[in-house]
Amino acid sequence: MQLSVAGHDCHVATGGQPFDPARSVWPPLLLIHGAANDCDAWHKVAGGLAAAGCALLVPDLPGHGLSGGEPLSSIEALADWLPALLDSAGVAAAILVGHSMGSLVALECAARHPQRVGGLALLGASAPMPVAEALLSSAATHPDRALRMMNDYSLTAPFQLRGGGGHGVWGPGVTLAIMRRSPPGVLAIDLANCNNYLHGLDAAAQVTCPTLLLVARRDRMTPRRNLPPLQSALRQVQRAEIPDCGHAMMNERPEAVVEQLLKFLANPTTPTTDGGV
């Protein structure tokens, strides 16, 4: 569906079902994509969540995908944009689910606008989320080289070798194709946003809602060794891990992502666990 947010058209997917919060036992879920991505990064996960009865808002962030406007140049600006999206959709509060850069946006939004956030799921998260200088430079001067590097690091070797997806779909090509259709300059802006966001732990300490940290055990982009400070800063946190999976977990293991999100929705205040699925 199309919404008008902050004076610009915003493309919002809904998981193949009409957006109807009344049909769901949970608050609406707002799924926030990562750097140089758009709503199609959530395609498989959104379908599974919608089939389970969730009401979904899956936007293309400003300047991404089919949404208008310029890409916003800070995590804070993106976090303040989310309540405007909720206003346009007529939603008082939502559960925010963010991946990679989207996890930082969700985290900052929960700290800045607690009344609009009923729960938080951070996928492939790290705070801070530094980006190597070589990747920042390549994103600005040779973006396709940077995209291919990110794609390689976002997926496990077995997934890349066997193709993933099935039915003739080359799974690694899906993530790369989504990133490649980003407008010029988007990748460099998004990576700079991640690199420049330095107060994530302060934001985490302000978050009062239940939070899920969903970790891919073979994530090389935001490795799990970076998680302890973020996990310690959050007040109500549980952690789950998906084995044999890389950073692009929504493509590599979408069923496991859906399973863990539904578990969190059913029991948002369960104790922290490091168990996998």
Instruction: Tell the residue number behind the tokens 């997926």, with chain if given.
Output: 155
For residues 246 and 215, is the Cβ–Cβ distance under 8 A? no
| Topology, domain 2-266 | Rossmann fold (3.40.50)
For residues 44 and 16, is the Cβ–Cβ distance under 8 A? no
Task: Give CA angle at 224 (151, 220), nearest 5°.
Answer: 20
Residue 156 CB-density burial (10 A; 0-12 exposed, 13-18 middle, 19+ buried): buried
Residue 113 CB-density burial (10 A; 0-12 exposed, 13-18 middle, 19+ buried): middle
Task: Give CA angle at 99 (76, 144), nearest 5°.
Answer: 90
CA 109/CA 44 separation, integer angstroms: 25
Tens digit of pLDDT per residue, the chain (277 long)? 999 999 999 999 999 999 999 989 999 999 999 999 999 999 999 999 999 999 999 999 999 999 999 999 999 999 999 999 999 999 999 999 999 999 999 999 999 999 999 999 999 999 999 999 999 999 999 999 999 999 999 999 888 887 765 555 567 788 899 999 999 999 999 999 999 999 999 999 999 999 999 999 999 999 989 999 999 999 999 999 999 999 999 999 999 999 999 999 999 987 655 544 4
Sign of CA dihedral 166, 167, 169, 170: positive
Q: Where are the domains of the chain?
A: 2-266
pLDDT at 118 (0 to 100)? 96
CA 227/CA 128 separation, integer angstroms: 10
pLDDT at 171 (0 to 100)? 73
Cis peptide before 128 (omega within 30 of 0): yes
Tell me if the pTM is above 0.85. yes
